[in-house]
Amino acid sequence: MDHPDNQPGAATLTGTSTITLAGGCFWCTEAVFDRVRGVTDVQSGYSNGHAQNPTYEQVCTGHTGHAEVVRLQFDETVISLREILEIFFATHDPSQLNRQGNDVGTQYRSGIYYETEAQGELARQMLKEMAAEGIHDAPITTEVAPLANWSAAEPYHDDYYARNPNQGYCAAVVGPKVAKFRKTFVRFLKDA
What are the tens digits of pLDDT across the range 58-77?
A: 999 999 999 999 999 999 99
What are the tens digits of pLDDT across the range 11-52?
A: 344 689 999 999 999 999 999 999 999 999 999 999 999 999
Q: How far apart (Å, rounded) are the C-alpha atoms in residues 171 and 45?
A: 22
Mean predicted confidence (pLDDT) in 87-98: 93
Residues catalogued as catalytic: 25
Spell out the domain ranges in the chain. 16-188
Mean pLDDT, the chain, integer: 90
Q: CATH number of 16-188: 3.30.1060.10, 2.60.40.10, 3.40.50.2000, 3.40.50.800?
A: 3.30.1060.10
- Burial of residue 122 (number of CB atoms within 10 Å: 0-12, 13-18, 19+): buried
What are the tens digits of pLDDT across the range 144-163?
A: 999 999 999 999 999 999 99
Higher pLDDT, 134 or 5: 134
Higher pLDDT, 12 or 133: 133
Q: How far apart (Å, rounded) are the C-alpha atoms in residues 151 and 64?
A: 12
Q: How far apart (Å, rounded) are the C-alpha atoms in residues 119 and 102?
A: 30
Nearest residue to 144 via CA among 112, 119, 96: 112
